Amino acid sequence: MTRTVLTVDDSRTMRDMLRMALAGAGFNVVEAVDGEHGLEVLSAHRPDVIITDINMPKLDGFGFIEAVRVDDDYRAIPILVLTTESDPSKKQRAREAGATGWIVKPFNPEKLVEAIRRVAA
Amino acid sequence: MDELEAIKVTFFQECEELLADLEGGLLAMQDGNDDGDTVNAVFRAVHSIKGGAGAFGLEPLVRFAHVFETLLDALRSNEIPGTPDLTALLLRASDVLADHVSAARGLGVVDMDASAAMAAELKIATDPNAAPAPAAAAPAEEAPAPAPAYVDAAAPIVIGAPQSDIGDGLDDDDLGFDFQPMTITLDAQAADAAVLDGNVWTVSIRPKSDLYRKANETALLLRELSRLGPIQATLDDSAMPALEFLDPEAAYVTWSVRVETDQGEEAIREVFEFVDGDCDLEIVRGEAPVADVLATLLDVAAPAPEPVVEAAAPEMTFEAPVVEPVAEAPVEAPAPVVEAAAPAPAPVSAPAPAATPVAANAPAAAKPAQIDVPGPGQSVIRVDPERIDRLIDLVGELVINQAMLAQRVGEYGIAPSSNLAMGLDELEQLTREIQDSVMAIRAQPVKSVFQRMPRLVREVANMTGKQARLVMDGENTEVDKTVIERLADPITHMLRNAIDHGLESPEERKAAGKNPEGVVRLAALHRSGRIVIEVQDDGKGINRERVHSIAVKKGLISPDLTLTDEEIDNLIFLPGFSTADKISDVSGRGVGMDVVKRSVQALGGRISITSRPGLGSTFTLSLPLTLAVLDGMVVDVAGETLVIPLACIVESLRPKAEEIRPLGPVGSVLAVRDSFVPLIDVGLTLNYRDRSPPPTEGVVLLVEGEDGSRAALVADAIHGQRQVVIKSLEQNYQQVEGVAAATILGDGRVALILDVDAVINLRRRGPPPPSDPTLIAAE
C-alpha cells in the first residue's frame, strides 16, 4: 500500500525538496501552500502522514496542527513539523498544538524518511 | 542529481519572488501601508530564502539571511519598535540579501565587507546593547550559522540506528523484523538465556493521554526500540478502571520493555525524543523484576485488555490484537504486531513503485509541464514556455490558414450571405479569439520588471544626493513575455533620468516650497490595445530655454525656428542632443534619450514627454502588447507584396504632381503641408526594379523612422491593413537589408515585412538626404 504524505509549506523549493525525497522513497505526495490550503487538501486526500512548515501565510503551522487535532476524522494522523533550526520554543509550541514530531531543516532524505517511519503505523 | 538541480532552479526563481515580496512589504511599511501582516510576510520571505539556501548549503547567504531574519523576528514580536530609520535599514539589507542571492546563483559577487558591515548594523538594530565593534561583527556572524553538515543539523531526528544506507538498512530490517523482537512473553525465565551484562536495559513507559493526542503511538515506540535489538515487552494495565468508568481519551497502561542492545542509553532515549514529557520514562540498566509486573498483570480481569487498547488509541485498531493475547494466547501475539509494523519500511524497500501519477511524474518533472499544487481553490499551472511558444506558432499557422481559406472561397465568388461565407466569418472570429486567448497565456504582469525599480531608485537617489520615493501603479498590467523582457531598459533609463534631471536637490525643493522628498511615479496601463508606461516626476520640469539653446548650439535646429513648448520638450529625444553636458554618469552612462527612443521604436513603440515648469515631467511610453503579431499595411511593390508596420505609418496619400520637387540628380521630395519629405521608392531601394515609375501613379505612405525622421515611401498599391504573424527571416533564411521579418499571407505567399528605418538609411547612403531641420522639428 502506498502511503500518502501531505506536505504543507509556502516555499516551492521546500515542497519540491520534500517531494523529491518522499517520492524517491515511494510515498505518494500531495502538497499544500499554507495551512488553509492544507486543510482543504487534507479532506480530499486523507494522507497517512502530514509534514508542515510553521511560518506560513493565512494559517500558520500552529493553527493548522490545532485545526487537524480538533477534527475527529483527522486527529490521529501523525504530524511532523519542519523547523529551520532546533528552536526549542517553536518546537515546544508546535508540540503543544499537537505535533507528533519534528524534522530539522536542512534535512536529508534518509532522515526525513526515518522521521516518518517513527511516527507512521 | 538532475532533479536537485531542477529544484535549485526553482529555488532561485522563488528567491526572486521572495525578494520582490520582501521589498514590496518593506516599501509598504515605509509608506505606512502595512496591515499588520506585512511584517510577518517580510519575515517569511527572508525565512524561506534562508531555508532553501540551507538546503543547498549556500553558506554566506544563509548566514546573512539569518542575521536579517533575527532582526525581523524581533521586529514582528514587538521587541524593537518599527521606525522609518529601521525600515530604511531593512531596505538596504534587502539589497544586500539580493546580492547574496545573485552571488549564490553565480551572477556577480558580494562585497563581503559591505555585507559584514550590514550584518553588524542589523545586529546592533536587533540588540542595541550588543557590542557595536565592527571587528566583533564578522565572527559573530559566523556563530549562528546553521551547520552546513546535514548530519549535525539533523541530529535531533537520528535515533541512533546503525544503518547508514537507508535502503539496505530497512531491507535488512524488513527481514530481521520478525517474530523475535516483539515477543511479549509470560515466561520470565526465557529472558535469562542470552543476557549479556551491561547490554540489557529495562525501559518502562507510562504514556500520558497527551502522547496519544499528538498522534504518537506506543506500538511504534516499541517498534523503534526493537530496531536497537531484541525486545520483550510487558503490559501493566493494573490502573485500568472498569469499563463504565473508563475515559476513552485517557491513558492507563504501563509498558515494561526489556531491550538487548549495545547502543547505550542515549540511543534508547532518542527513541522517545518525540514523546519527551508526554510519558513517564524510566531507563535502567539490567533486568527488571518482570515477575512482579506479571503478577499484577495476570490478576487482571479477563475483559479488561480490549478496552485498554481502544482507550489508548482509538484510531489504531491494530493494537488490539497485540494486547489481547497477553491474557489469552501469548505465543500468537507477535504476529499482528509485525503486520502492523511492516508497512513502514515498505515504501523504502520498494523505492519506485510509481503507483500513483504523482510519484511517477516527479522524476520526469523537469522537462514537461508541471502541475504545481493542484488545490481545490485557486490553482496555478506551471508550463514550459516552449510549449506555449509552440502553441502560439500553431495558432499563427491557423490564422494564416484561415485567411487562405477565406481568400480561396472569395475567389469562387460566393455570396457573402451564403452559409459558407457566414461560417467562414464565424471561423475568423473564433480564430481571432483563440489567438487572443493564447497570447493571454503568455502574458505576464509587468511586476517582474517593476519590482527591480525600487532598488534602482534608491541607488540613483543616493548617488545623486536626491531624496526620491517611488510610487508604482498597475504592476499587474499584463503584457506579452516578449515585450516584458524589453521593457526594463527603457524604464530604467526613464527613471534614472527622472531622478537625475527631473528632481531637484532637497534644498532646492525646500526653497521652492516642496516636500524635500521627490516622488517618482511609475505606472502601467492598457490603452487601446497597447501597453502604456508612464514615468512621472514632481521635479522642476524641462528647462525649455536651456533645451532650445542646446539644440541650437548643437545645430539640431535653426535658431530662428519657432517651436511650441511640446516641440521643445521633444527635442531631448533628438540624436546628438544628450551629451555629457546634459547627461551625468548616473542617467546615461553616456546614453541619451535618443537611444531610449530608438529602442522603443524598434519594438513598434512610441515615447513622448510632457512637462510643466516647476511641477515636473511625464514620460509616456507605449508599446504593442506582443511582438508575435503585428498590425501592418499590405502593399504592392513591383509585383511583390510587402507589409509595412502600421506603427511607423503616419498617413497615406496620393501625391499630386505639383507636390513633388526634384532634389539633386535622382532624388525628389514631397511637400507635405509645411515641410518637405524625401520620397523613397521602395521597389528601387530593395532592387526590385531599376528605375522608378512616376510617384503620382502610386501611393505614398508617410512613415516615421526611429529617430523621428520622416520619409515618403512610394508603393504601387495598397491592399489594406492586416494583422500578420511575424516569422523570423534570420532563423529561416538569413538577414536581408531593408527587411525586418517575413509573414505568410492568406494566399500562402511569403510577404516581407519592411524595416522602415533600414529603408530610410539605405536611401540616405545613396544620394545625400536633404538635411532640412524642419523635417525633424515638424513632429
Cis preceding-peptide flag for A106 (omega within 30 of 0): yes
Parallel, antiparallel, or unpaired for β B739-744 and B750-754?
Answer: antiparallel
Residue contacts between A and B (CB atoms, under 8 Å): 202
Determine the residue of chain B that is closest to A19 in CA distance: B362
Q: Which of B294, B234, B287 is nearest to B260 (CA)?
A: B287
pLDDT score of B630: 78
pLDDT band at B768 (very low <50, low <70, confident <90, very high): very low
Report the C-alpha gap between B322 and B220 in whole angstroms: 12
pLDDT score of B195: 56
- Flag if A101 and B157 touch (Cβ within 8 Å): yes
Question: Is pLDDT larger for residue B515 or for residue B150?
Answer: B515
Cβ atoms < 10 Å from Cβ of B303: 10
Are the beta carbons of B22 and B97 closer than 8 angstroms?
yes
pLDDT score of A50: 93
pLDDT score of B130: 60
Are the beta carbons of B775 and B705 closer than 8 angstroms?
no
Question: Is pLDDT larger for residue B491 or for residue B191?
Answer: B491
pLDDT digits (tens, 9 = 90+) for B259-280: 888 777 888 888 888 888 788 8
Whether the pLDDT of residue B215 is over 90: the answer is no
Q: Which amino acid is at B350?
A: A
* Residues contacting residue B163 through CB under 8 Å, at least 6 positions apart: B169, B170, B172, B173
Report the C-alpha gap between B458 and B473 in whole angstroms: 18
pLDDT score of B591: 56
pLDDT tens-place values along chain A, 121 residues long = 688 999 999 888 889 888 888 888 888 899 999 988 988 888 888 899 999 998 888 888 889 998 888 888 888 889 998 886 656 778 888 888 888 888 887 787 888 888 888 888 7
pLDDT band at B528 (very low <50, low <70, confident <90, very high): low
pLDDT band at B766 (very low <50, low <70, confident <90, very high): low
- Flag if A33 and B14 touch (Cβ within 8 Å): no
Secondary structure (DSSP) of B405-448: HHHHHHHTT--TTSHHHHHHHHHHHHHHHHHHHHHHHHEEETHH
Where is B260: in which H helix or E strand?
Answer: strand B254-260
- Residues across chain B: 779
- Flag if B376 and A41 touch (Cβ within 8 Å): yes
Cβ atoms < 10 Å from Cβ of B714: 27
pLDDT score of B723: 76
Report the C-alpha gap between B482 and B470 in whole angstroms: 26
Whether the pLDDT of residue B148 is over 50: the answer is no
Report the C-alpha gap between B33 and B184 in whole angstroms: 65
Please tell me if residue B51 touches chain A, with a CB cutoff of 8 Å: yes
B249 φ/ψ angles, rounded to the nearest 5 degrees:
-90, -10
Cell numbers for B291:
515477575
Q: What mean pLDDT is reported for chain B?
A: 73
Terminal C-alpha separation, chain B: 59
* Residues contacting residue B48 through CB under 8 Å, at least 6 positions apart: A10, A11, A13, A14, A55, B14, B18
Chain A neighbors of B158, CB-CB under 8 A:
111, 114
Shortest distance between the Cα of A113 and any Cα of chain B, in A, equals: 8
Mean pLDDT of B24-52: 83
Determine the residue of chain B that is closest to A54 in CA distance: B44
Mean pLDDT of B703-714: 78
* CA B710 to each of CA B191, B385, B477, B606, B649: distance values in angstroms, whole numbers, following the listed order: 103, 38, 32, 14, 10
pLDDT score of B684: 86
Relative orientation angle of helices B134-142 and B112-126, to the nearest 10 degrees: 90
Secondary structure (DSSP) of B640-681: EEEEEEGGGEEEEEPPPGGGEEEETTTEEEEEETTEEEEEEE
- Flag if A10 and B216 touch (Cβ within 8 Å): no
Report the C-alpha gap between B761 and B746 in whole angstroms: 31
pLDDT band at B235 (very low <50, low <70, confident <90, very high): confident
Where is B216: in which H helix or E strand?
Answer: none
Whether the pLDDT of residue B772 is over 50: the answer is no
Cell numbers for B777:
522639428
Mean pLDDT of B659-670: 82
Chain B neighbors of A57, CB-CB under 8 A:
37, 40-41, 44
Chain B neighbors of A37, CB-CB under 8 A:
373, 375, 377
Chain B neighbors of A56, CB-CB under 8 A:
44
Are the beta carbons of B618 and B611 closer than 8 angstroms?
yes
Question: Is pLDDT larger for residue B118 or for residue B161?
Answer: B118
Shortest distance between the Cα of B510 and any Cα of chain A, in A, equals: 42
pLDDT score of B379: 61
* Residue indicated by cell numbers 538609411: B761
Where is B569: in which H helix or E strand?
Answer: helix B565-569
Shortest distance between the Cα of B443 and any Cα of chain A, in A, equals: 22
Pick from B216-225, B362-371, B536-545, B557-566: least confident: B362-371
Whether the pLDDT of residue B507 is over 80: the answer is yes
Shortest distance between the Cα of B546 and any Cα of chain A, in A, equals: 54
* Residue indicated by cell numbers 504582469: B445
Mean pLDDT of B645-667: 84
Determine the residue of chain B that is closest to A11 in CA distance: B48
Pick from B314-323, B512-521, B597-606: least confident: B314-323
By percentage, how much of chain B surpasses pLDDT 70?
73
pLDDT digits (tens, 9 = 90+) for B362-404: 333 333 333 333 444 456 777 887 888 888 878 888 887 887 7
- Flag if B214 and A95 touch (Cβ within 8 Å): yes
Are the beta carbons of B395 and B435 closer than 8 angstroms?
yes
Q: Which amino acid is at B748?
A: G
Chain A neighbors of B14, CB-CB under 8 A:
11-13
Q: Which of B143-147, B482-486, B494-498 has the highest mean pLDDT?
A: B494-498
Report the C-alpha gap between A57 and B38 in whole angstroms: 10
pTM over 0.95: no
DSSP B696: G
Question: Is pLDDT larger for residue B520 or for residue B608?
Answer: B520
Secondary structure (DSSP) of B97-130: HHHHHHHHTTSS---HHHHHHHHHHHHHHH-TTS
Tell me the HSE value of B608 on the side-chain side, using a 13 A CA sphere.
Answer: 8
Cell numbers for B265:
542509553
Shortest distance between the Cα of B566 and any Cα of chain A, in A, equals: 50
Q: Which of B596, B642, B601 is nearest to B619 (CA)?
A: B596
